[in-house]
Amino acid sequence: MTTSDRQAKPEKVEFYRHQLGEEEAQSWRKVIDTLFLTLGPQVAAFEKELGEFLVRGRADATPPHVVGTSCCSLSLVLALKALDVGPGDEVVTTPMTFASTTNAILHLGATPVFVDVEPTTGLIDPAAVRAALTPKTKGILPVHLYGQLADMRALEAIARPKGLFLLEDSAHGIEIERDGVRPGQLGDAVTFSFYATKNLTSGDGGAVATKHAHVADRLRRLRNHGVSKSASDRHGKAYQHWDLVELGYKANLTDLDAALLRPQLPKVLAKRAQREAIADRYEARLREAIGGKVDGHASPAGVPWLVERRGTSSHHLFTIQPPPAMRDEMLAKLGEAGIGTAVNYRAIHLLTYLQERYGFARGSFPIAEEIGDRTISLPMYPTLETAAQDRVVDAVATAFRALA
């Protein structure tokens, strides 16, 4: 490559860059010098610290029990099982989510009952949840999409009188709050993801938080095959037999993961603020660059260009919603301009497996479908520099003008 080629092609603006640095590397290296690489003291310390994080600043609140897992996908499976979900049960959930949410319900032999989402936020619509309840409904599984809390107060008002469980998929953040409510505060359990692109990451990893001690006990057993004691529980004592007491999974967090996660926890809120500043700037610059088209709910369903904010978001994902006819070409043009993008998500009920299994057709959940046809996630991470943000906005505006 010649010097002029290099100048002609600016560096790609990556969709995501992790924030792991020397502090995390040192914490990880220290574990290598110890006896336990998994389900040992680092996992226990992280679980305690995450529980404390969830009730930070609330002197009268009791931290939830936290169980570290291998990922959010299996956290959902374990949590549903610990909440006694099984064949014949219906779980009301959103089609605007990743495959894991639905797969977890299906893995337990239960039926996902999809309901549509709010047009301005993409979050599950409580009125639609209420309308979907049947005698077989066992619980409700909302997703805190992009890092905004679903309307947990409304969902709680629906669930409690009927004795339904509330399980929250909070893969998109631990640092979320809305109407004074945080993840896991009203729900029976909440699941988190520490996947490579998440705000808090160990490459892969997850956790479940629950206020119920009996659910936590069951989760600890289920993440470890269903056996009565882990190796570290037994360490240092005279040999004790372990027993297999139920059918479980191998789905625990490791001490190496926990060692990466622990130093990140105290930095989460500062990084959230940095993400928010980027989201604010993106929105202001997109309004300038694209003009009046950005505001106003042009679509019949009322889906706007920019997602409306609700409470304190983790700003895990920043999405724009151009008209459906433009979306895929805009993705291609952003790619050509060296901008990393993703689609979170195409409506899940229209993907092949679910469409074939349940016969869903277009029109089943029109708002989720429209968001799925429009959404584009733009680069978002605390170290995304101003010049890179501007390149992203300029590329969106250029693509918009070319396609309008």
Ligand X SMILES: Cc1ncc(COP(=O)(O)O)c(C=O)c1O
Both ends of the chain: CA-CA distance in Å? 35
Smallest distance, Å, CB 307 to ligand X? 15
Q: Which of the residues 178 through 217 are near ligand X (CB under 6 A)?
A: 193, 195, 206
Phi, psi (rounded to 5 degrees) for 192: -125, 155
Interface region with ligand X, contact rule CB under 6 A, candidates 33-41, 96-104, 174-182, 333-341: 96-104
Size of the residue set binding ligand X (CB under 6 A): 13
- Listing DSSP states for 160-207 in one string gives HHHT-EEEEE-TT-SS-BBTTB-TTTSSSEEEEE--TTSSS-SSS-EE
Residue keyed to tokens 């310390």:
45
The residues pairing with 124 across neighbouring beta strands, listed in sequence order, are 117
CB of 148: closest distance to ligand X in angstroms?
Answer: 12
CA distance 82 to 399: 48
- Is residue 98 a contact point for ligand X (CB under 6 A)? yes
Per CB under 6 A, the segment of 56-64, 92-100, 285-293, 348-356 that binds ligand X is 92-100
Under the binding rule (CB under 6 A), the answer on residue 169 touching ligand X is yes
| Residue 148 interacting with ligand X (CB under 6 A) | no
- Asked if 97 touches ligand X (CB under 6 A), the answer is yes
Judged by beta carbon, residue 16 or residue 36, the one nearer ligand X is 16
Give Cβ neighbours of residue 33 (< 8 Å, ≥ 6 apart). Answer: none
Which of 81, 138, 198, 333 is catalytic? The answer is 198
At closest approach, how far in Å is the CB of 116 from ligand X? 17
Helix axes 386-403, 268-290, angle to 10 degrees: 40
Pairing type for strands 206-210 and 189-193 reads: antiparallel
Q: Is 377 in the site for ligand X (CB under 6 A)?
A: no
- Cα–Cα nearest to 159, from 187, 192, 117: 187
| Distance, C-alpha 325 to centroid of its chain | 27
Asked if 257 interacts with ligand X (CB under 6 A), we say: no
**Residue choice 27, 42, 93, 101 for contact with ligand X (CB under 6 A):** 101
**x/- track of binding to ligand X for residues 48-87 (CB under 6 A):** -----------------------xxx--------------
The answer to whether residue 81 is catalytic is: no
Is residue 146 a contact point for ligand X (CB under 6 A)?
no
Count other C-beta atoms under 10 Å from residue 8's C-beta.
Answer: 9
Q: Count other Cβ atoms within 10 Å, centred on residue 268.
A: 17
- Residue closer to ligand X by CB (options 189, 399) is 189
- Of the candidates 96, 152, 167, 171, which one interacts with ligand X according to CB under 6 A? 171
List active site positions.
198
Binding site for ligand X (CB under 6 A): 71-73, 97-98, 100-101, 143, 169, 171, 193, 195, 206
